[in-house]
Structure 1
Amino acid sequence: MMVSHPTSLLTGVLALLSPLTAHSFVIPPSENLQAFVGQAQTLNPSLESASIENEGFSRPSWFTSTLMARRLLALSPSGVISTTFPDSVPPSAHAPSDVAGISIGLREYIADCDGSLPSDLSHDDNGDPTILGLRIGTTFKNIAAGSNLSLQIDWWDHINEAGSVYPGLPPSLAALPRVTLFGYLDNLPSPLPDDAAAALEQCFLEPHPDAKVWLPGASYSPHASFWARLVVTHAYWIGGFGDVQQIGWINLTEWQGIRPHGSVAGVGDGRGWQDVRLPGEKP
C-alpha cells in the first residue's frame, strides 16, 4: 500500500492553494489542514509506478508515462489546435485587424489512424495523428499562411470515472493527464488511392460518423476538405501533479516506437499502449 508522506502532502497542498488567497480563498489554519485535505489515499491502481525515494509517493516511469500519452492520443476524438494569425490579416479573413500575430486555439477532429494507411503512405503508426481539415477553417487558414501549430489533448472529460487520483484530495481536473504535441501539418495526397481512402475513412468515421458529410471529394460537402497528419517533432506531457506523475518532454524515439500491442526493438520494455490504462479506465 502506498502511503503519502504527511509533511510532503501538507507542503504540496499549501503550495497548490496559496495563489488562491488573492481571490478570497481562505486556507484553513494549520491545525485543521490535515482534516481539510483528508486522509492519505492510495493512487489509482491502474497506473504502474516506480518508487520515489524519501517521499512516500509513487510515480510512473517515463516509459510508462509515454505509453499513457500514446494511449491518450489513441482514445482522443478531438483536440485543441493552437495557431497564430498572420502579421497582416487580409480582408478576406473576416477578422479584426488587431488580432494579427495573436494565437488562437480551436478544437478540431483528430484520430490515430496512421496505422490504417498502406505502408507507402503510412508513417508506420508512429504517433502522428490524422486530421480532417476544412480549408475555410481559421485553424487551417492560419497554417496555410505559415503559422506554426500545436495540438493539446487531455483526459479531463473523464473526471467522473477517474474519481480521486491524488492522495488526500477530492477529484481534480488538474490531477488528470494531458499532452501537447508540436510539429507541422503534412497534407496527404489528394485524391488518395481508393484503398487508402476507404481505410482512412473507416478509421476516422468510427469516432466521427458525422464527418461523412464533409469528407474530401464528397460532392455534397458544404466545404472543401483535405486529409493531413500532424508530424510530431516534440511532445510535452503533464501526467498530473508532479510529485506523483511525470511532467516534461517525452523522448521522441519512444513516442514514435510505441505500437498498440508492443514497441519496436530497442524501445522501452516491449510494451504497447494497450498495456496501460488511463485514470478511471476499466481493465
Structure 2
Amino acid sequence: MIFRPFTTGLLALCSSTFTSASAIPHLDDQVVLNYADHATNPHSIDADSFTRPSWFTSTLMARRLLALSPSGVMSTTFPSHIPDSSRTPAEVAGLPIGLREYIADCDGVLPADLSHGDNGDPTILALRVATTFRNIGAGSNLSLEIDWWDHLSEAGAVYPGLPPSPAALPRFTLFGYLDTLPELSGAAAASLEKCFLQSHPDAKYWLPGAPAAPHASFWARLVVTQVYWIGGFGDVQQIGWMNVTEWKGVRRHGSVAGVGDGRGWEDVRLPGEKSAVGAL
C-alpha cells in the first residue's frame, strides 16, 4: 500500500507574543537569511574567514546525518473527524502531532526488485497501533525531522562569539509518502532485520512476525519528494530546499553519474565527528 501526501504546509517564523495566525507577519526569505548583516548583530562573521559549504556538500552532510540517525520526529495530522467511540479527544481533529519513531538507512540491503537503489528513502518499523501510522492510514500527509542536536557536547562551539548552541547544528525535514513493503521472508527478511537491529537491538521483540510481539508491525519506507535543510546559522551554512536529484543520487561511497562532483557521504563529517568513524 502507498500513502500519498496532500499538499504540505510551509514553515513560518513567529513571536511568542502573537495570539493568532493572522498576526504572523510575512518575512521575505532573503531578509531571514541575511540576518547576520544587520548592524546590530554583535556576532557578525568575517567573510574572509568562513566559506559557506556548497549545496552539494550540504546534501552529502544531510545524507550522512540520515545514515547516522536511529530516529526522527514524524509529523502527521489527526483526521478531520474523530469518531465518538475513539479515545482520542474530538478537540484534536485536524491538528498536527509530532512523535519520534525508529528509522534506519537500510534501503541498500533490500533485494534489487524492492530496493530504491540506496537513494535516501529511510526504512521505518511501523506499529499499526501507533498514532503516527493510524493518522497516515486515515489519509494524513507526513514529514520526518532529523537533527544532530544530541551531539552538542562533541561538536562544541561552532559559531564565533557564541557558546555551544544546538541552533548552530544541522537538521533537515523530509517530505514524502509512506510506502509499505511487502511481507519479506528468507534472506531478504534477515538482511533487513540485521541492518535495522544494528541501531535498534530492542526492536527484535516487535519485528514483523516476531513471536509473542506486543503489537502488530510492518516494514515501510518514506519515499522522499522534498528536503528542507538548515545547516546551522545562515551566514555560514546553507538553509533552504535541497536538489532532490542530488539527494537521491548520493551513495555512501561516491555518487551516481552526473550528480555532484562524485563524492559520497563518507567524504564529509558532521560537527564534532572524528576524521574517521566506526563501521556503520
* TM value normalised by structure 1: 0.82
Residue of structure 2 in register with 1:119 after alignment: 112
Distance 2:172 2:180 in 1: 23
Name the counterpart of 2:193: 201
* Offset from partner CA, 1:67-110 (integer Å, 9 cap, x none): 00000000000000000000001245411001000000000000
**Per-residue Cα deviation, 1:210-260 (whole angstroms, up to 9, x for no partner):** 000000011210000000000000000000000000000000000000000
Residue-by-residue CA offset, 1:88-136 (whole Å, 9 max, x unaligned): 0124541100100000000000000000111111000000000000000
Q: What residue in structure 1 maps to residue 264 of structure 2?
A: 272
Q: CA deviation at 1:169?
A: 1.2
Kindly report structure 1 stretches of 4+ aligned residues shifted beyond 2 Å.
Answer: 8-15, 54-57, 90-93
> How many Å apart are 1:170 and its aligned residue?
1.1
Unaligned 5+ runs, structure 1 = 1-7, 16-32, 42-53
> Which residue of 1 is the match for residue 79 of structure 2?
86
Q: Give the structure 2 partner of residue 18 of structure 1.
A: none
Q: What is aligned with 2:223? A: 231
How has the CA–CA distance of structure 1 residues 225 and 92 changed in structure 2, closer, same or farther, with 3 Å as cutoff? farther
Q: Deviations over 1:171-214 (max 9, x none)?
A: 11000000100000000002x13111100000000010000000
Aligned to 1:141: 134
Structure 2 CA distance for aligned equivalents of residues 101 and 120 of structure 1: 37
| Residues 40/255 of structure 1: CA separation in 2 closer, same or farther (3 Å cut) | closer
- SS in structure 1 of the partner of residue 246 of structure 2: helix
> Cα deviation per residue 1:5-33 (whole Å; 9 max; x = unaligned)?
xxx99756945xxxxxxxxxxxxxxxxx6
Cα distance, 1:40 vs structure 2: 7.5
RMSD (Å), alpha carbons = 2.0
Aligned residues: 242
CA distance in 2 between counterparts of 1:13 and 1:241 reads 17
Which AA in structure 2 matches 1:208? Answer: H
The one-letter code matched in structure 1 to 2:106 is C
Q: How does 1:142-157 map to 2 (within 5 A)?
A: 142-157=135-150
Q: Distance in 2 between the 1:79 and 1:58 partners?
A: 29
Aligned to 2:273: 281
Structure 2 CA distance for partners of 1:84 and 1:237, relative to 1, 3 Å: same
Q: How much does 1:55 deviate?
A: 6.2
Say whether the 8 Å CA contact 2:179–2:222 is kept in structure 1: yes
- Partners of 2:48 and 2:158 in 1: CA distance: 17
Aligned partner (choices 63, 69, 77) of residue 70 of structure 1: 63
SS at match of 1:133: strand
State the alpha-carbon separation in 2 of the partners of residues 175 and 12 from structure 1: 18
**Distance in 2 separating the partners of 1:120 and 1:144:** 25
1-structure distance, mates of 2:65, 2:120: 11
Match of 1:60 among 44, 53, 63: 53
Structure 2 counterpart of 1:266, which letter? G
Are 1:57 and 1:243, in contact at CA under 8 Å, matched by a contact in 2? no
Distance in 1 between residues matched to 2:222 and 2:196, nearest whole Å: 15
The question of whether the paired residues in 1 share the 8 Å contact of 2:178 and 2:223 is answered with yes
The structure where helix makes up a greater share of residues is 1
Distance 1:63 1:10 in 2: 23
- Cα distance in 2 between the residues matched to 1:143 and 1:80: 14
- TM-score, length basis structure 2: 0.82
Q: What is the aligned-residue identity percentage?
A: 73
Equivalent pair of 1:40/1:168 in contact (CA under 8 Å): no
Alignment CA distance shift 1:9-1:246 (3 Å): closer
Residues 69/92 of structure 1: CA separation in 2 closer, same or farther (3 Å cut)? farther
Q: Distance in 1 between matches of 2:177 and 2:120?
A: 13
Please point out which of 194, 197, 207 is paired with 1:215.
Answer: 207
Q: CA separation in 2, counterparts of 1:86 and 1:110? A: 24
Q: Which runs of 5+ in 2 are unaligned?
A: 1-33, 276-280
